[in-house]
């Protein structure tokens, strides 16, 4: 309990410092430790990674593909399972706009594979299971290292968060539809397909990414090294906020938006059940 109070105090202090510079986020508010919501017999494998919310349900992805679903309003555990096909790092997650069918409970669910193929795995997901319905690849050879995919559902854009010439970069494309898939269920995007790109600035170790309205939210870092939440203007690439999270001592991961709140999901090393969630009011 003393750890949680210190955590809340630290986050609120850092946010207050940023507010003096017209920061777009309000003070941090503790939501839950997922460990407190999980039945005692539920075992979670893999560290907490990508995070997305739709219709009051939070989907917390874990390394190697496990998805933990919560009712975020009632702070209630719903279910957990391994998503079909994706056994990667699952570093980022987001919902699109297209539904697989009339029977689908949610829009298509986009999960970053991150390493290996560096693909975006598109899923038709329910509260019980999922199926892989599309894979998206970037075919340019200029990027280096892992990369993330993030959907801007409002603008129907798909962002690729990557490293080019040692610079963190975001480039964006029209969000592919299922009908754009080839006979293997794949979409291949090329440099010529990019609609634009911006620099993400000095980010040491990229984590989750979220595009919402006029803002790009990027988490960074791994304890005990520097960790932070960055807010960038999507049009000018100006950094509007750098929220230092280093003193928390846990790793910032996925970011999601729901009803005017930005939710930040963090993982505790070697404790997959201990998924800490905070939220900030978006001004």
| Spatial CA neighbour of 255 closest among 266, 242, 247 | 266
pLDDT at position 10 over 90? no
Q: Does domain 2-282 have CATH number 2.115.10?
A: yes
Residue-wise pLDDT tens digits, 153-177 = 999 999 999 999 999 999 999 999 9
pLDDT at position 11 over 60? no
Residue-wise pLDDT tens digits, 47-98 = 999 999 999 999 999 999 999 999 999 999 999 999 998 888 999 999 999 9
> Is residue 13 very low, low, confident or very high in pLDDT (cuts 50, 70, 90)?
very low
Q: Residue 165 corresponds to which tokens in the numbers above?
A: 């010439």
Label residue 176 exposed, middle or buried (CB < 10 Å: 0-12, 13-18, 19+): buried
Identify the residue whose tokens are 């929220």.
Answer: 243
Identify the residue whose tokens are 């610079």.
Answer: 167
Domain ranges in the chain?
A: 2-282
């Amino acid at each position: 309990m003393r750890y949680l109070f210190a955590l809340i105090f630290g986050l609120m202090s850092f946010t207050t410092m940023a507010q003096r510079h017209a920061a777009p986020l309000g003070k941090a508010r503790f939501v839950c430790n997922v460990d407190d919501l999980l039945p005692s017999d539920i075992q979670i494998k893999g560290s907490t990674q990508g995070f997305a919310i739709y219709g009051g349900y939070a989907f917390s992805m874990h390394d190697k593909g496990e998805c933990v679903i919560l009712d975020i309003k009632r702070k209630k555990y719903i279910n957990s399972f391994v998503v079909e096909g994706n056994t990667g790092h699952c570093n980022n997650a987001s919902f699109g706009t297209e539904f697989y069918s009339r029977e689908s409970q949610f829009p298509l669910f986009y999960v970053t594979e991150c390493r290996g193929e560096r693909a975006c795995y598109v899923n038709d997901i329910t509260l019980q299971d999922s199926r892989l319905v599309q894979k998206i690849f970037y075919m340019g050879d200029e990027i280096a290292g892992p990369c993330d995919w993030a959907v801007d559902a409002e603008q129907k854009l798909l962002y690729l968060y990557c490293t080019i010439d040692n610079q963190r970069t975001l480039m964006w494309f029209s969000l592919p539809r299922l009908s754009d898939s080839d006979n293997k269920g794949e979409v291949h995007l090329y440099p010529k397909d990019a609609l634009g790109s911006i620099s993400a600035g000095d980010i040491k170790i990229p984590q989750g990414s979220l595009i919402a309205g006029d803002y790009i939210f990027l988490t960074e870092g791994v304890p005990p090294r520097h960790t932070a939440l960055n807010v960038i203007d999507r049009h000018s690439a100006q950094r509007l906020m750098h929220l230092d999270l280093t003193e928390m001592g846990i790793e910032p991961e996925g970011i999601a938006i729901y009803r005017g709140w930005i939710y930040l999901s963090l993982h505790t090393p070697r404790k997959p059940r201990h998924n800490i969630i905070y939220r900030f009011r978006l001004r």
